[in-house]
Amino acid sequence: MKIFIAGSGKLANAILTSGLSIQSCEILKWETPDLTLNEKGIIVHAGSGRQLKECFEFCERTKSLFIELSTGLETETMNPDFPLIICPNTSILLLKTLSILNSFGRYFENYEISITESHQSTKKTEPGTAYAIAKSLKFPRAKIVSIRDPEIQQNKIGIPKEYLDKHAYHKIVIKDGSDEVTLETKVLGHDSYANGIKTIIETVLKYRLENKKYTILDLIDQNML
């Protein structure tokens, strides 16, 4: 099966250069599509949205699986006629933590909460993981603190200098008077994203997904991951 990586940014290039290998699959960069290609495949989209239309056309024609890694695009609201997985993060450890928050976040509704997220200064897309955390805790998106200053990231958060241009950090603080619980997540580099994509693809190849939209947390909740 052909697996196409669509996008030209850091994440797409990191996946393509990671040495990703999946049994019986060929990993390819998504180029201008061959309209005669009718075999079912998988598209992993990590781009700005420029290639979405042609990717959609291919998936509609072949009922191929579409995995969306980018955030803030129309894939989040569409009702597709092909399997679509919304996956704003591919760190399996972090995703399972998100699943726990999604299931039990309601227990913290009446507490004082703060959410801080940090990514490389070049990140222009929405902080999808932070939004997912906020949704689980019924916390307003507008109150999320976003940090893009490398000096603060290195000296106050503790991001190593070599990872300032490729990291994802989240901090959740829940308070009840003088009682406080803090949860921090830190992903350094892109290795975990490539490893996570490998795990996700190997998993979905075992199942027959319906022609509809899923979130990656749906797969975790159904014990697929």
Whether the Cβ atoms of residue 14 and residue 194 lie closer than 8 Å to each other:
yes
Regions of the chain with pLDDT less than 70: 33-36
pLDDT attached to residue 72? 84
What number does CATH give the domain 92-189? 3.30.360.10
Tens of pLDDT, residues 183-196: 999 999 878 888 89
pLDDT attached to residue 162? 94
Strand intervals (E) in the chain = 2-6, 26-29, 42-45, 65-68, 84-86, 112-119, 145-147, 167-176, 179-188, 213-215
Helix ranges, the chain (H) = 10-16, 52-62, 92-104, 128-136, 150-152, 191-204, 216-221
The pTM for the full model equals 0.85
Q: Which of 121, 120, 141 is nearest to 129 (CA)?
A: 141
pLDDT attached to residue 34? 63
- Domain ranges across the chain: 2-86+192-221, 92-189
The CATH-assigned architecture of domain 2-86+192-221 is 3-Layer(aba) Sandwich (3.40)
